[in-house]
Amino acid sequence: MKIELNRDFIDQLKELIEQKADQDIIQIISELHAADIAEIMEELDSDEAQYLFLLLDGELASDVLLEIPEADQRRFLRGLPPDVIAHRFIEFMESDDAADVMADLDEDVQDEVLQHIDDKEQAGDIADLLEYDEDTAGGIMAKELVAVNENWTVQTCLKEISIQAEDIDEIYYVYVVDDNFFLKGVLSLKMLIMKPTHTVIKSMVTEDAHFVRTDASQEEVAQVMEKYDLVALPVVDQIGRLKGRITIDDVLDIIREEADKDYQMASGISGDVEAGDNVFQRAWTRIPWLFIGMIGGIIGAGVLGSHSSQLQQIPAMAFFIPLIAAMAGNVGVQSSSIIVQSIASGTRSFDSVGRKLVKELSVAFSTALLFSVLIFMYNFFFTGNMRLTYSVSITLFIVMVFASLFGTLIPLVLNKLKIDPAVATGPFITTTNDILGLLIYMTVAQMFFKIL
């Protein structure tokens, strides 16, 4: 029954596209879910993908458009006239998806597309949504929702729902409003089905419905929905009037996106890496951190250069440079990522910075002690040079404690300054700690050269 999506299928499809066997292609493709078609398109080269895409009709075409990477969306739409964009794609979409797609178009194209939308209510909804900042609740929400008046009965409600729900893919909750559209509460469809039909809505509503304001950040939206296990969340304006609703699938995308961003930041990659990006764009996302790493390396060379007398006296000191640098980097990354994660997942900011530091430092002290004893024993038994043995193990202890301290403090400080603390993970911490480690190493060595 279901088509197996594998290499053979892709090859067969490529052949059909080359033969321009449109009917066969349509027959195969139309059985698939939009998300599957989007996945297939990523395996085709861009001309094949475009050819396939233009064979799709109405609803399916617009569904597929929403599933492909944004870079491809832009490329496909760029060549199309505004009326085609309106009639073939936008008119089939819910308002939030339509606004997302439109937001990527030039402003004059946006205006023309809006004028070509036949349903003026839909055009108005999209225009409203385009006003909001993309990263806020207003920018994520859809205007399509089922709202019922608090004075209605269950029976009136159910009738009204079946009218309003025509345009909506899925209803999870029904929003209860007063005559001025102020949000009064939330009802699940289940509650409506289970109550006697003459019950007045007002009597069923509980007061503690969760909602966000249109200007709430997308992180806040995600945190509220995740914390309270909601599948949809109403959005209200400054004075509490119902403006839209956000569904869990959009929030899932945000959570995935944030996690990916933090992960990439920790790996020294800036900006989006989309499947369609070319070599130059891919390289570009990596160059900034590599450049910082190189500058760090050059500074490190400077530090070593200005302490070259120690290195000349005991050449074996140079052998342990990679060890000191690596341990500093690893400890720093560990500490910073713990803090960044706790900042990212924490909804509220209780002032426990002090406690966090104390916890981190006690971990740092114990691990630093362990590893400096280990390296002391190694050098004592295998190298036999006491100056080197002392220098390396004392350096390692100091470096590990400092690396941990910096790894903890920098994200906390950045967060206080309203800068995304995730920038202080990965290569940034590694680089600063490398330099720090070398400085400490050379300073400690200098001291021991004077004493011993």
Nearer to a second copy, 106 or 351 (CB): 351
Among 286, 343, 387, 449, binds a second copy (CB under 8 A): 286
Among 153, 367, 385, 443, binds a second copy (CB under 8 A): 367
Quick one: tokens of 45? 């080269």
What is the rounded CA–CA span in Å between residue 20 and residue 91? 28
**43 interacts with a second copy by CB under 8 A:** yes
Nearer to a second copy, 114 or 429 (CB): 429
Site string for a second copy, 178-207 (x = CB under 8 A): ----------xxx--xx------------x
Among 130, 254, 326, 343, binds a second copy (CB under 8 A): 326
**330 interacts with a second copy by CB under 8 A:** yes
Task: Name the β-bridge partners of 187.
Answer: 174
**381 interacts with a second copy by CB under 8 A:** no
**CB of 290: closest distance to a second copy in angstroms?**
6
**CB of 440: closest distance to a second copy in angstroms?**
13
Q: Show Cβ contacts of residue 272 under 8 Å, excluding neighbours closer than 6 positions.
A: 285
Among 79, 108, 280, 354, binds a second copy (CB under 8 A): 280
Report DSSP state, residue 30: T
Nearest to 140 by CA among 271, 266, 258: 258
Quick one: tokens of 240? 């509490």
Q: 307-314: list long-range contacts, CB under 8 Å, 24+ apart.
A: 307/442, 307/445, 307/446, 310/442, 310/445, 310/446, 310/449, 313/449, 314/385, 314/387, 314/388, 314/445
**426 interacts with a second copy by CB under 8 A:** yes
Report the site for a second copy in 105-164 (rule: CB under 8 A): 158, 161-162
CA-to-CA dists, residue 211 to 233, 396, 418, angstroms = 6, 51, 24
Q: How many H helices and E strands in the chain?
A: 22, 6
SS3 of residue 141 by DSSP? coil
Site string for a second copy, 204-223 (x = CB under 8 A): ---xx---------------
Counting beta carbons within 10 angstroms of the beta carbon of residue 283, is it exposed (0 to 12), middle (13 to 18) or buried (19 or more)?
Answer: exposed
Site string for a second copy, 54-93 (x = CB under 8 A): ----------------------------------------
Stretch that binds a second copy, among 81-89, 197-205, 366-374, 410-418 (CB under 8 A): 366-374
Number of residues that bind a second copy (CB under 8 A): 110
Amino acid symbol at 232: A
Quick one: tokens of 138? 């207003």
CB 127 within 8 A of CB 114: yes
Among 57, 133, 197, 298, binds a second copy (CB under 8 A): 298
Nearer to a second copy, 130 or 311 (CB): 311
What is the rounded CA–CA span in Å between residue 263 and residue 333? 12
209 sits in the region (left: phi over 0; alpha: psi -120 to 50; else beta) called: beta
**CB of 75: closest distance to a second copy in angstroms?**
18
**288 interacts with a second copy by CB under 8 A:** no
**CB of 195: closest distance to a second copy in angstroms?**
9
**CB of 146: closest distance to a second copy in angstroms?**
9
What is the rounded CA–CA span in Å between residue 84 and residue 70? 19
| Pairing mode of beta strands 212-213, 147-149 | unpaired
Stretch that binds a second copy, among 51-59, 85-93, 282-290, 413-421 (CB under 8 A): 282-290
**363 interacts with a second copy by CB under 8 A:** yes
What is the rounded CA–CA span in Å between residue 320 and residue 300? 14
What is the rounded CA–CA span in Å between residue 258 and residue 109? 30
Between the two ends of the chain, the Cα-to-Cα distance in Å is 81
**438 interacts with a second copy by CB under 8 A:** yes
Among 347, 413, 416, 452, binds a second copy (CB under 8 A): 347
Nearer to a second copy, 20 or 359 (CB): 359
Among 82, 185, 244, 268, binds a second copy (CB under 8 A): 268
Nearer to a second copy, 137 or 224 (CB): 224
Cα pseudo-dihedral 220, 223, 228, 231, rounded to 10: 80
Report the site for a second copy in 236-265 (rule: CB under 8 A): 248-249, 252, 255-256, 259-260, 262-264
Among 3, 283, 373, 377, binds a second copy (CB under 8 A): 283
